[in-house]
Amino acid sequence: MEVNEANNLAIKRCLPNADDEQTEPEQYKKIKLSETGISSDTGKHTEIIEGGLQALPSQQNENNEKEDEEELDNAVLEDDEGDGDTFADMMKYGLVEQDVGITKFVSSHQGFSGILKERYSDFVVHEINKDGKMVVLDDLSVPADDEEPSEDIFSVLSAQDKQRLEDLQHFKNKEDSVVIEVVEDTKEKRTVIHQAVKSLFPGLETKTEEREGKKIIVAYHVAGKTALANPRKHSWPKSRGSYCHFVLYKENKDTMDAINVLSKYLRVKPNIFSYMGTKDKRAITVQEIAVVKITAQRLSHLNKCLMNFKLGNFSYKKYPLKLGELQGNHFTVVLRNITGSNQQVEQAMTSLRDTGFINYYGMQRFGTTAVPTYQVGKAILHNKWSEVMDLILKPRPGERGYLVKCREEWAKTKDPEAALKKLPVKRCVEGQLLRGLAKYGMKNIASAFGMIPRNNRLMYIHSYQSYVWNKIVSKRIEEYGLKAASGDLVLKGATAVPIEESDVEKHTIHDVVMPLPGFDVLYPKHKIGKAYEEMMAADGLDINNMKHKIRDYSLSGAYRKIIICPENVTWEILVYDDNKIPLVHTDVEKLEGTPLPESCKDGKYKALKMDFSLPPSTYATMAIREVLKMDTSIKNQTQLNTVWLR
C-alpha cells in the first residue's frame, strides 16, 4: 500500500452537519474493546444546541452517572440564527484537516469532487444491532394484545378534559383530582374513559363514584410526583414485557431532538427512553428505541400526527437498550455531480473496499468555531482554569446570534450575572459556566466549570487525546508506511503487546493499534513512542503523569486501530437531470410503495451512490475523504462555495 499526502483541495460543496460518527463513543467504558480496539472512561449524554452543549431536561443532574455520552459537535446555529452567509463568515476562522493531523491517504487513485448532502436524503443511516442485523422499518402493524385498550381512547376525552388532566398530571392546578362527566353513560363508555386516562396520562389513577344519582369518573395522582417519572407498575399486564421496543425512522432530526418530541407528545419524561446510539441531524436515520411501559398502540398513534417520523416494528421485551450495544451503522451515501471518470470511481471504491481508510477522528470532533475544543482540553489538563474560562467565554470572530451579546458583555464587564442576562438559552455550556461563576466566584473557576454536565467537560479533554492521536498516527504512517513494523502495538485480548522483529511478517497494518495518551496504556516501542512524549512535552504535558488532581480529568487512555476496512461495500454510478429528485429508496417509500424516479440514460449530472458498514467510533466522512481525496473541513469547503447547504 502506498501512502499519499493530503492535497489542499476541498469537496465541491460543503458537508453540512457532519453527522457521520458512529455513536458508541470510545470514552464509553473503561477497557471495552470493540472492532476498533477502543477503550476509555465513562461519561454522560448531552444534546447539542446553538453555540454550545445542552443537557437533556431529564439529564442535568450532575450526580446521575447513568447518563450516556455523545460526540461534541459544537453544533452550528439553527435556522433562525444562521443563514448561509453567517455560517460561511464563522467558518473563515475554523480549522482545516492539517490543523488536527489529518494529512495522509492510503490509496493512490486520483481524487475527484462531488457534492455530499445536497439533500439530507442523500445520507441514510441504518443501525446495526447487537446481533449484527441491520435495523429497518418494514412493519407498521401493532402486535396483537388482548389487554390493549381500544382506539377509542384517543377520542373519548374532550380537549378541555385533556388539558385539565395534563395540568393535574404536572401538578399545575390547585385541585388534587379532576372530575370527568360521562355523556351517554354506559359501563363500556366508562371503561374506555378509565383506559384513556391511564394510558395517556401516566401517574394518574381513576375511580367511578356516584354523585346526585349520576356516575362520574374521578382522576387523581396515585403516588405523588414520583408517578410522573415512573409509570404505575400495577396498571401494566404482568405477562407483557415492561419495555416496548420499536424502530424509529426520522428525517433531518437528531436522536435527542426526536426523543424530546416523542416525550412531549406522550407527556412523559425523556429518560424513560433508551437506545444503542445517537444519530445526528442532517440525514435519514433508522434505529431501535425502547421505552418503559408505553403501549405499541399509543406509539403507533404518533404516526398520524408527526411529520418526518415513522414508528414501527413494535415488540415487547423485558429489557431496555444500552448505549454501545450496537455493532455499528450501515451508510447509504450519494455524492452528486461527481467529476471523476468511471475508472477513477472504480479505483477509489475498490481501494476503500480492499484497503480501507485511515481511522482519523473527523473534523466535528474538534468543533466548528475559531476556538478548537482540544485547546480547552489542553488548558484543563494544565489546570489553567482562567484560560479554560477565557477560551469558552471570549468573543469568537465571525460568530453571530445570541451568544455574541453574551460574550461581548462578558469581555466588557467580567460580570457573570450580567452576561447571563444576555443569554436567552441558559443550558448551553456558556450558560452553565456563567451560572457556576455567579455561584462560586472568580477565585474558584474549577468548581464553576463543574456546573457543566460531566460528559460535556470530558469532551474537551477527549478532544485533546484525539488531536494527539491524529497527529501521531500521521507521523507513524510517514515513518513506517502501511505495513506492520517491529515495535508497533497489536491487541491480544484486552492487552496491547509490541510486535517483535521475528513476528513482523505475521501481522498487517490492519492489526496495528495506536494509543490515545493516558496513564494506563502502552506506547509503541519504536521512535513513534518517543514522538508521543515529545509532542506532549511541547504542549507542556508529561506523558508519564496523566493523572489530574481532579479525578474526572485523569486520562486512562485507549487503543484505536490505525486502518479500518468498511464491510458490505457496494457502489453504482447514476445519471440524473434534476438535482431535487431522490436517488435513495427509503424505508418509508418502500412501505408506501413509492417507486424511485426512473434514472435517465443521458442525464447531464453524474452521481456516485455508495453503501458501506462501519464499526462503532469511526467516521464516515473519513471514508468519503479517502474516496474523494479532498479536505472535509467546513472551513475549506466554505472558502470555495457560496452557500451553506440546508
Catalytically active residues are: 280
Residue with cell 471514508: 623
C-alpha distances (whole Å) from 590 to each of 138, 266, 285, 587 are 8, 27, 15, 5
C-alpha distances (whole Å) from 121 to each of 125, 284, 285, 585 are 10, 6, 9, 9
Whole-angstrom Cα distance, residue 39 to residue 29? Answer: 6
Whole-angstrom Cα distance, residue 506 to residue 94? Answer: 43
List 515's β-bridge partners, or say none: 559
Tell me the torsion sign for CA atoms 529, 29, 21, 69.
negative
Nearest to 332 by CA among 637, 594, 73, 589: 589
Q: What is the DSSP string of 354-414?
A: HT-EE-PPPGGGG-SSSS-HHHHHHHHHTT-HHHHHHHHHS--TT--SHHHHHHHHHHHH-
Whole-angstrom Cα distance, residue 203 to residue 221? Answer: 6
Per residue in 342-376, is it b (16+ CB within 10 Å) or e — as a string? eebbebbbebbbebbbbbbbbbbbbbbbbbbbbbb
Write out the H or E segment, with its range, that includes residue 636. Answer: helix 634-640
The number of CA neighbours under 13 Å toward the Cβ of 385 is 16
Q: Collapsing DSSP states into helix, strand and coil, what is residue 535? A: helix
Contact indicator for 190, 215 with CB cutoff of 8 Å: yes
Q: Which residues contact 254 (CB under 8 A, 6 or more apart)?
A: 19, 47, 48, 278, 279, 280, 281
245: its cell numbers: 421496543
Is residue 614 classed exposed, middle or buried when 0-12, 13-18 and 19+ CB atoms within 10 A define those classes?
Answer: buried
Whole-angstrom Cα distance, residue 500 to residue 487? Answer: 6
Q: Which residue pairs from 637-642 have beta carbons closer than 8 angstroms and sit at least 24 positions apart in sequence?
A: 637/10, 637/11, 637/13, 637/14, 637/15, 637/91, 638/14, 638/87, 638/88, 638/91, 638/92, 639/10, 639/91, 639/92, 640/10, 640/12, 641/12, 641/13, 641/14, 641/88, 642/84, 642/88
Q: Which residues contact 115 (CB under 8 A, 6 or more apart)?
A: 11, 12, 13, 335, 336, 337
What is the identity of the amino acid at 523? Y
Backbone angles phi, psi at 89, to 5 degrees: -60, -45
Write out the H or E segment, with its range, that includes residue 512. Answer: strand 512-516
SS (H, E, C) 80-115: CCCCHHHHHHHHCCCCCHHHHCCCEECCCCCCCCCE
**Dihedral, CA atoms, 579, 580, 584, 587, nearest 10 degrees?**
170
